[in-house]
Chains A and B, each alone.
Chain A
Amino acid sequence: MTLPGRTAYRDELTSLAADNPRILCLEADLGGRGHPFAAAYPDRFFNVGIAEGTMIDMAAGLAEGGYQPFVSTFAPFAALRAAESLKLALGYLGAGVTVVAPYAGVSGGWFGTTHHCLEDFAVLRAVPGVTVAAPHGEEEMRAVIRRAARTGEPHYIRTGRNAAPVSLPWEGTDPPVVNWDDAGAGAGRICLVSVGEVGTELCLAVRRARPDLPHAHLCFVDQPHLERAAAELAERFDRFIVVEEHRPAGSVGSALALLLPGREVRSVNAGDRWPVHGGSHEQVLDELGLNEGALWKALTSYEVPPGATSAGEGEQT
């Protein structure tokens, strides 16, 4: 039993705050009820109300005043509504603020397009100085939160709504630049590159059917991390399929394509359509064509999918 990313965040931050009195927790009316941090440290918990831009600029003032503010609101409201505050406070000023953004991608399902965010990598990756992470599972989320608290550097951390995948294991304190999941994989194969909860789960599903395919999981996707990841990827493979719950523009796949000249980089992503219908997270992903079938379809040029798996329609190159 693992915790969803946003629950793991709250729990880890509350634990860290026991030994770090400088940690503050700010919410914008989308996480305050029953928050363990609020119960444990009410004097360091601030529900500022529905005021995302103010929350992030205000967090910069708190950081400059010697504190470590962690702020959280849904990804669309953090990355898009408050984008300018992120640019100025976390980027230009370099304030030690951590933003944790649940409801990334279309994890809000039936909540609809206003509550989806398929654009946050495009925005945040373009802001120099911000560590951008898309942890997969509880352990990765906890490790990224610990990293943010330890370094005091600006972080943007995207997560989903209630999905609770199991993190891939790794050695060391922080998730590695590339977490290789390639036991049994053959040399010279096309390498799956996964980002975030959905991308990683899709790659793991394909790996279960075809363990001979190598899989490289990325937790950190800001430009400095991707440059290091690209160098490591290029040492081992020449062909890649990047899988992520994001639009093609500004995606990790597009960044890796630029960082890997002469290598073949394809992308399986959420496309350019608006997710106008309701349904579960998985159903909205199906509507956008981001599913296992789409990944198999992208692989058909190179690999034979298992007979029971039907191809989807969501491949974008």
Chain B
Amino acid sequence: MTAVTIEAGLPGLALAPFPATTPATVASPLRQRALAARRMVIDMAATPTGCHLGGSLSVMDILIAALDRTATDPDSEVVLSKGHAAAGLYAALYVTGILEEDPVPHYGGATHHFTGHPGPSVEGVRFPTGSLGHGAPYALGWALSRRLAGTPGLGIAVLGDGELQEGLVWETCQVAAAQRVGNLIVVVDRNGGQNDGLVADISPEPRLAERFDAFGFEVRQVDGHDVDALRDLFEPDRSDRERPLAVIADTVKGKGLRPVEGKAASHYVTIDARRAAAWKEIVR
């Protein structure tokens, strides 16, 4: 991994400055960007509404990598299908430079559009999600539109593993494979949690890679927190591929914030400003 100096002036850094103890030469730009976004998510958990903290932190590296891929490519789109991680999406859009307005002061507030599940009035939000399953078929349509237009763009849908319990997801996989939309990428943020507890306890998803393979997808299982490796996955031109790609990204709910890492209770969190300040010091 290339060591670089922290990029001064990244959006979000002014709001959530790095602690003085943070080594300045240990992380790639994308990791730095993800860290800045995680601090913003913590701040959003300290708003009166709180936020879906655990899932926003688990999905962060995926979003950072995917948005970096699409930020300068109008032919490619990222859809956060697990829309409850809106805080994570807003932060990722902001630190990537897609979203100009800082969402933190306005998250969940009246007269502002940074709602707990994202809508299309927010710059960079492609489809209103939160009712689970819908982002995948939207991304499929976008990917097919690029194929029809003869451009190499991607449609990237980011789903939660709990979201895979929705039938619409598998209906979409069926159609995507049948239509041979190889420029569709479905990324599963496999953090193992859902609203009421653990996926494994509520509705387990054994042999997930085999399932996607059986549907006709290419399948990659990756570390969902290796943001640079994820970025590499999104790089290739897939316009000549016939099998859509499923990326099963193993993640940790609450990733980067030790007090909540791996805890189902981190699904939705409301904290006060003092705790937010402490957590921003230790988040990594």
B-binding residues in A (CB < 8 A) = 24, 43-44, 46, 48-49, 51, 53-67, 69, 84-85, 88-89, 92-94
**B127 interfacial by beta-carbon distance below 8 Å:** yes
Q: What mask results when residues 115 to 148 of chain B are scored 1 for a CB within 8 Å of chain A, else 0?
A: 0000110000011100101101111111111101
Is A59 a contact partner of B171 (Cβ separation < 8 A)? no
Measured CB to CB, the closest approach of chain B to A43, in angstroms, equals 8
Is A58 a contact partner of B144 (Cβ separation < 8 A)? yes
CA gap between A89 and B155 in the complex, in Å: 17
Contact of A67 among B127, B128, B148, B175 (CB under 8 A): B148
Measured CB to CB, the closest approach of chain A to B134, in angstroms, equals 5
Is B145 a contact partner of A66 (Cβ separation < 8 A)? yes
**What residues of chain B lie closer than 8 Å to A54, measured between beta carbons?**
137, 140, 168, 171-172, 174-175
Contact of B175 among A24, A58, A92 (CB under 8 A): A58
Q: List 23 A-B contacts (CB under 8 A).
A: A44-B148, A48-B178, A48-B179, A54-B171, A55-B137, A57-B127, A57-B138, A59-B141, A60-B141, A61-B137, A61-B139, A61-B141, A61-B143, A61-B144, A61-B145, A61-B155, A62-B142, A62-B148, A64-B145, A65-B146, A67-B148, A84-B134, A92-B128
Q: What mask results when residues 228 to 260 of chain B are scored 1 for a CB within 8 Å of chain A, else 0?
A: 000000000000000000000000000000000
Contact of B141 among A43, A44, A57, A88 (CB under 8 A): A57
Is A53 a contact partner of B145 (Cβ separation < 8 A)? no
Measured CB to CB, the closest approach of chain A to B66, in angstroms, equals 16
Is B171 a contact partner of A53 (Cβ separation < 8 A)? yes
Is A51 a contact partner of B175 (Cβ separation < 8 A)? yes
Classify the interface of chain A: helix, strand, loop or mixed. Answer: helix
Is B137 a contact partner of A53 (Cβ separation < 8 A)? yes
Is B120 a contact partner of A93 (Cβ separation < 8 A)? yes
CA gap between A57 and B135 in the complex, in Å: 8
CA gap between A298 and B156 in the complex, in Å: 56
CA gap between A64 and B146 in the complex, in Å: 11
Number of interface residues of B (CB under 8 A): 30
CA gap between A58 and B145 in the complex, in Å: 10
Is A61 a contact partner of B119 (Cβ separation < 8 A)? no
**What residues of chain B lie closer than 8 Å to A43, measured between beta carbons?**
148
Measured CB to CB, the closest approach of chain A to B257, in angstroms, equals 32
Given contacts A65-B146, A88-B134, A93-B128, A49 and B141 within 8 Å (CB-CB): no
Is B142 a contact partner of A64 (Cβ separation < 8 A)? yes
Residue of B nearest to A21 (CB): B148
Is A66 a contact partner of B139 (Cβ separation < 8 A)? no
CA gap between A317 and B142 in the complex, in Å: 47
Is A67 a contact partner of B137 (Cβ separation < 8 A)? no
Residue of B nearest to A67 (CB): B145
Given contacts A57-B138, A92-B128, A65 and B168 within 8 Å (CB-CB): no
CA gap between A48 and B155 in the complex, in Å: 18
CA gap between A207 and B144 in the complex, in Å: 50
Residue of B nearest to A53 (CB): B168
**B149 interfacial by beta-carbon distance below 8 Å:** yes
CA gap between A84 and B119 in the complex, in Å: 15
CA gap between A66 and B150 in the complex, in Å: 13
Residue of A nearest to B145 (CB): A65
Residue in B137, B143, B174 with the greatest tally of chain A CB atoms within 10 Å: B137
**What residues of chain A lie closer than 8 Å to B168, measured between beta carbons?**
53-54, 57
Q: Which 3 A-B pairs have the closest CB atoms?
A: A61-B141, A65-B145, A57-B137
**What residues of chain A lie closer than 8 Å to B131, measured between beta carbons?**
84, 88
Is B127 a contact partner of A60 (Cβ separation < 8 A)? yes
